[in-house]
Chain A
Amino acid sequence: MSGQGIIREINGPILKARLPGIRNGEQVRIGALGLFGEVIALEGEQALVQSYENTDGVRPGEPLEGLGWPLSVELGPGLLGSIFDGMQRPLTELYRAHGDLIPRGVAIPALDRERTWRFTPAPDLKPEQGLAAGAVLGRVQETESIEHRILVPPDLGGVLVELAPEGDYRLDDPIGRLRDADGRHHDLFLYHRWPVRRPRPYRRRDHGVAPLLTGQRVLDTFFPVLKGGKAAVPGPFGCGKTVVQQQIARWSNADIVIYVGCGERGNELVDVLESFPKLKDPYSGRIMMERTLLVANTSNMPVVAREASIYVGITIAEYFRDQGYDVVMLADSTSRWAEALREVAGRLGQMPVEEGYPAYLASRLAAFYERAGRVEALGGSAVGSVTLIGAVSPPGGDFSEPVTSHTKEIIDTFWALSKELADARHYPAVDWVGSFSGHVDTAARWWAEQVGEAWAERRAQALALLARDAELARIVNLVGPEALSSAQRWVLEGARLVKEAVLQQSALDPVDSFASPEKQYALLDLALSIYERGAELIDLGMPVQELAAMPLLTRCRRAKGNYDSQQVERIQALKEEAMQQFDRQRAQYAGAGESTP
């Protein structure tokens, strides 16, 4: 404990205090209300403090107390299914204890101290055995689908002195003891604390090998991200950023999903809170909320806690990674986090560089995204990953603004949302021209092994078709469709088919909200096959109007909503039927071609 100080000045969330002997980054309690805050700079005996809570009513002369530790999170059983604020206070408990509004200066432990957990010690651990930092002490079945592995804290290691037998324990009951290299004994618990601004250590980093499957065609098939990758979703308001993020939270094949609502709408978090307990994970069949955890700092909650919230989220993500799980963390939105940085920097009078942002914006963003990755954990052979997906909210939809442009330099996968597509209600409004993925080659290996040999080729063909469509559309806009040849007009029809039958996917359609890789591939193959066979017929002289009017095309467009992921063979059957029709048409036209020279 580093003792008491006196508040000298209050300027919104930033305070100055006389506080000798305090450390930078240390947690403090502020004034008579006991608000929570953090030291952000020191100058002689003067400390600059940012408050996580509204400072109304605080006066100069009130005391300020250093707590002796930096902002940390509690990591242990009970995390899953919870909703925390930006300082990891459990919001449901706060609601029960304090009512509708968030009170100030209230400390409630993040994890329930009363609840008992069934702990099963690791069978191969014996007293006097060496115990590395991060080693697995045992397990707790936290939810039906997730087994919580109890870890030795990453900054502790030595020799096991004793380990509790299988039984029910509360978080504050010691479950073991360890002797470190200096001969000191440490009690071990079901949980430990870790400072949020320090990345959790790991043994080594690994390459990503498998794509994160989201069930969204435009993401999985066109712009894949790997487990352990970094992706950004930028888009102006109203383009469906939040829906894309929620769809990933719902349908991705990760073990754990951490959703950080950073400076966003309260009602969106409620939507997740109310809908997830009713949804089933398509992979395990279990209730979605069992693998989900929310960190909520809505836009009206204090700005400093907003800045902290994404670190709270990523630290919890790393903790599950260290247990060997594949974790997805969604940060919605990183722009609000950057703006929180800007707001604090502004209050401190720091020199703004771009649009008011401080000079350290780019380095902070990069350091944050670097916490994603696939790693071999410290303690043993477990391999886990954190996939980081950040929403970006560029002002005015301008992708050249600082947060978007710096983010773009860091990430591997970029899902650019387009206002034009959203205005046309083409959802997800992921723009195939502005988006990119650095993971296509690795993903292609996976798809070729698991789903279809020709995935990479099919994907490239579809993108090429869309690119030709964009080119031709420019001509049409200048001179009208009559100027195009039949083959060119069929390109427009083919691209329309790819857009409507494959790319567009309604989050609200219960049949099509999630598409398995097999369904994705079957739909893409169907649309492209129709286009290719149609192009042959055009060459043989079939009028494009007649082709475009084939009822087959409408059936292809409706296939995504008519057949779910269990009915892929019906999409394949539709393709077979289509091919037979084309064969007949071809025979007709080829025949006609011979008889009339």
Chain B
Amino acid sequence: MSAKEYRTAGSAKGGLLLVREAPAVAFGDRVEIRDHRGRRRNGQVIRCADGEILVQVYEGTDDLDLETTWVRFLDQPLEVALSPDILGRVFSGIGEPRDDRPPIVSDLHRAVSGSAINPAARTYPREFIQTGISTIDGLNALVRGQKLPIFSGSGLPHNRLAAQIVRQARLIDQEAAFSVVFAAMGVSYADARFFQEEFADSGVLGNVVMYINLADDPPIERLALPRVALTAAEYLAFDLDRHVLVVMTDMTHYADALREVATAKGDVPARKGYPGYLYSDLAEIYERSGRIKDRHGSVTLVPVLSMPSDDITHPIPDLTGYITEGQIVLSRELHNQGIYPPVQVSISLSRLMKDGVGKDDTRDDHPRVASQLFALYAHAQEVRNLASIIGADELSDRDRRYLEFADAFDRRFVGQGEDEDRSIFETLNLAWELFSLFPKDELIRVSETDLAKYHRQGDGAS
């Protein structure tokens, strides 16, 4: 069947090609399309009925004419070839070379759609990854196998933060085989270039696989890209025992491509025109991270997404937040004050932190210090609001201390250099320096033992 070409295209619109008088091909199968100039395009079957097949064309349907379009059904699902040689390479969204080097030759091919990991096969992620960034390590710790997105907005330094995480991420006292899978969807040339240079400068390029779809590349390819990238990540993690950090940017472009195709297919829209299955679709991607029993590697996922109009209730960040294990949220306000990384700690969260920090993992006081920082900062924000109304002079002594704390926290704890790699102990000690602004009675979330050991009132954090 795979040799035969069909010239029976019935319609071509919105990236979808309808083929009539077609054979009984399987749902999800790969399709090859040749246009009137003999150029090859790739597609996948997304609906099939007796004699009528709907194909999603990854390169789009622009410039196709129905008369001279040949369609070949390959009788196999969308697969990628995998071998250790993928490290250091750059591919397109469907896994074709983008770096003028030959395709990967391997006997090992895997379908990109993946299967769900059996929950009974998973182990709970609990190994603390030190990123060297205080707001992450101290307050929203990342662990191996976690999926922790960065919620950002246009113009905010999410790419710089993601690059810093890639550069600095490591376990506290362990060296391990480590790889990065970089998946770029709809990003600008400049952003893609930034990451490439970052990887080259920090000398990790040989451990990085890149899958790139630029802003001017066909949007439908973005639907396949994260699946292709994760198939590679799973291979590196569970076949080659590597610890893989997957950075995906920008998930908003992915979801928009999904909406584009859904609209063309005539799917019933749920919120803001996104199809009702956006949640399930995103989950298929995000849930591929994790750790598996008896496997040495891990897949840790850091998706980056820009929130349209900085709106965290927009369906893309909203559904993402329901699937991922927390979120790191960047704030325009902090960014405008020149604070880098502008992490808004009050709405950031890491759900897996609880089992990755503390006595055996970082330091005994860590969970309580984090809780205390959150509590102090939450009250400090209220005081700030108050001060902006009645003026700082009218505040009580207690509230003035909170105001001082808030400023020191933003400047010294949140703010740090792009090359500043703080150990978790430095981060915790910094927190105790900030606590010294307060008397012991005000610090009820840390234990009395912690206070005796670390509290130095009057040392002053200025």
List chain A positions with a Cβ less than 8 A from chain B: 8-12, 16, 54-62, 83, 91-92, 94-95, 98-104, 236-238, 242, 261, 263, 265-267, 269-271, 273-274, 296, 298-303, 336, 339, 342-343, 345-347, 349, 352, 355-356, 393, 395-398, 423-425, 476-482, 500, 506, 508, 549, 551, 554, 557-558, 561
Contact = CB atoms under 8 A, between A and B. Distances in A.
Nearest to A8: B50
B275 A346 contact: yes
Contacts of A104: 115
B24 A480 contact: no
Contacts of B154: none
Contacts of B48: 9-10, 59-60
A269 B325 CA distance: 13
Interface string B266-281: 0111110001110110
B334 to A, nearest CB: 15
Closest 7 A/B residue pairs (Cβ):
A396-B313, A299-B283, A56-B28, A424-B378, A9-B49, A300-B287, A356-B270
Considering residues B111, B279, B290, B292, which has the most beta carbons from chain A within 10 angstroms of its beta carbon?
A: B279
Given A346-B267, A508-B354, A481 B117 contact: no
B318 A395 contact: yes
Interface string B29-63: 10000000000000000111110000000000000
B279 A339 contact: yes
Contacts of A345: 268
Interface of B: 24-29, 46-50, 77, 111, 113-125, 145-146, 238, 267-271, 275-277, 279-280, 283-284, 286-288, 290, 292-293, 295, 312-315, 318-319, 321-323, 325-327, 346-347, 349, 351-352, 354-355, 367, 371, 374-375, 378-379, 382, 385-386, 389-390, 394-396, 399, 441, 444, 447-448
Given A59-B26, A266-B122, A352-B268, A298 B378 contact: no
Contact of A273 (B119, B312, B385): B119
A79 to B, nearest CB: 16
A21 to B, nearest CB: 21
B219 to A, nearest CB: 20
A244 to B, nearest CB: 13
Given A60-B48, A101-B116, A270-B119, 6 more contacts: A9-B48, A55-B28, A57-B27, A57-B77, A237-B321, A356-B269
Nearest to B345: A423
B49 A424 contact: no
B116 A298 contact: yes
Contacts of A336: 279
B439 to A, nearest CB: 10
A301 B326 contact: no
Contact of A477 (B319, B322, B385): B385
A274 B124 contact: yes
B449 to A, nearest CB: 12
Nearest to B320: A237
B378 A423 contact: yes
Given A100-B292, A300-B116, A425 B371 contact: yes
A425 B378 contact: yes
- Which applies to chain B's interface (DSSP): helix, strand, loop or mixed? mixed
Considering residues A103, A342, A397, A480, which has the most beta carbons from chain B within 10 angstroms of its beta carbon?
A: A480
Given A424-B374, A424-B378, A425-B375, A395 B271 contact: yes
B330 to A, nearest CB: 16
Given A56-B26, A273-B119, A395-B271, A356 B276 contact: yes
A300 B288 contact: yes
Contacts of A62: 24
A478 B268 CA distance: 46
B267 A91 contact: no
B375 to A, nearest CB: 6
Contacts of B447: 561
28 contacts: A10-B47, A54-B115, A56-B113, A98-B118, A100-B295, A101-B114, A265-B323, A266-B117, A267-B146, A270-B119, A271-B124, A300-B280, A336-B279, A346-B267, A346-B270, A346-B277, A356-B268, A395-B319, A423-B378, A424-B375, A424-B378, A425-B374, A425-B375, A425-B378, A477-B385, A477-B389, A478-B389, A508-B354
Contacts of B120: 83, 91-92, 94-95, 273
A83 B47 contact: no
B29 to A, nearest CB: 7
A481 B395 CA distance: 8
A96 to B, nearest CB: 9
B326 to A, nearest CB: 7
B279 A298 contact: no
Nearest to A241: B322
A298 B287 contact: yes
A468 to B, nearest CB: 18
Contact of A238 (B277, B283, B349): B349
Contacts of A269: 119
Contacts of A266: 117, 119, 122, 287, 290
